[in-house]
Structure 1
Amino acid sequence: MDYKRILIPVYIGKNSQEVARRGLEIARHLRVRTCFLFVKDSTLQHYLSLTSYPSARPAHLEEEVTRAMDTIGQRTLENDLALARQMGVEANGILLEGKALQAILAEVRPGDLIVVGRRARGSLDHPSLGSLAQGLLEQAPVPVLTVRLGRAMAEA
């Protein structure tokens, strides 16, 4: 199959950097561009609004969390884009908002390959992929490549 683009969902942490690096290696080998996706999961804002004691919550907590998530997302994307430049791979980054699985699936186009990390947990018969990787494997209309992260890395 001729891939046109590799989508790499990214998040905070060393695991994400390892997945990004592996996805970029594949992109470099296939000579295709990469798109990093960072999703500001709306679930966090939802949980912040559910407290039964609104007076206990600072007035601007949701705004502060949203600004912090924007900053973290932008920095994560900037770091991954710098790695892509260093590796000689054409890349862009998109900051999305919503539930991670649905937001990522909305960005998928024909000719894409999704590269996502999976945890090295569970038994040999029933490995734990993590909910995002599992959801992408079940629902993505394009191929999904999972990057197995070592047990020590997955627990970091």
Structure 2
Amino acid sequence: MKILVPVDGSEAALDAVRHAVHLHRNGLQASFVLVTVQEPTYVYEMLLAPDAEALERVTGAVGALALEGALAMFLAAAISVEREIGSGDPAQTLIEMVGRHGCDAIIIGARGRGALRSALLGSVSQAVLHAAVVPVTIVKHVAT
């Protein structure tokens, strides 16, 4: 079994990583793909950047930062992971990553917004849940 674990650097995303590590420690035989998706570059960013390579470096650096905490958690648990930094619409890109990596499931964090706010603003975890062709576990963030 291969499980996609998307992160964005938030505490809610780290809750999903904690859940994945917990499942692995309790006997789940799975490999993990740790991913993050950066928003697409906007026209004004392209105009201000010295070149396309500079934009790519910045996107990569921001993506690496988003992966950093989650990667440390997997490595501390002695779990090796594949990694990918994507760019584009987050939900759609995550669905594409599932197919590209041959994942069997997704574990994703939720920010815990209320139903009304999620309905008005949309939610990556909700969009992934509806578009995915594999099982999705949404780990709700509980503030302590």
TM-score of Structure 1 vs Structure 2, range by shorter chain? 0.7 to 0.9
Q: Which residue of 2 aligns with 1:91?
A: 81
SS of structure 1 residue aligned to 2:42: helix
Q: Which residue of 2 aligns with 1:32?
A: 30
Using the TM superposition, give the Cα deviation of residue 108 of structure 1 relative to its aligned residue in structure 2, in angstroms: 1.4
Identity over aligned pairs, percent = 26
Q: Which residue of 1 aligns with 2:42?
A: 46
User: Does 1:115 find its partner at 2:113?
Assistant: no
Q: Which residue of 2 aligns with 1:135?
A: 127
Identify if the C-alpha distance between structure 1 residues 122 and 47 changes in structure 2 by more than 3 Å, giving closer, same or farther.
farther
- CA offsets, 1:120-149, max 9 Å, x none? 2325xx684852111111110000000011
Separation in 2, partners of 1:132, 1:63:
28
Number of equivalent positions: 139
Identify if the C-alpha distance between structure 1 residues 48 and 16 changes in structure 2 by more than 3 Å, giving closer, same or farther.
farther
Equivalent in 10, 15, 31 of residue 12 of structure 2: 15
User: Does 1:105 find its partner at 2:95?
Assistant: yes
Separation in 1, partners of 2:64, 2:22:
22
AA matched with 2:44: L
Identify if the C-alpha distance between structure 1 residues 65 and 12 changes in structure 2 by more than 3 Å, giving closer, same or farther.
farther
8 Å Cα contact 2:49/2:55 also seen in 1: no
Higher relative contact order (CA 8 A, sep 6+): 2
Unaligned ranges ≥5, structure 2? none
Using the TM superposition, give the Cα deviation of residue 59 of structure 1 relative to its aligned residue in structure 2, in angstroms: 5.4
Q: State the TM-score, normalizing by the size of structure 2.
A: 0.77
Separation in 2, partners of 1:107, 1:58:
30
Separation in 1, partners of 2:63, 2:109:
18
Q: State the TM-score, normalizing by the size of structure 1.
A: 0.72
8 Å Cα contact 2:13/2:110 also seen in 1: no
Separation in 2, partners of 1:15, 1:111:
21
SS of structure 2 residue aligned to 1:121: coil
The CA RMSD measured in Å over matched residues stands at: 2.9
Separation in 2, partners of 1:108, 1:94:
11
User: Does 1:6 find its partner at 2:3?
Assistant: yes
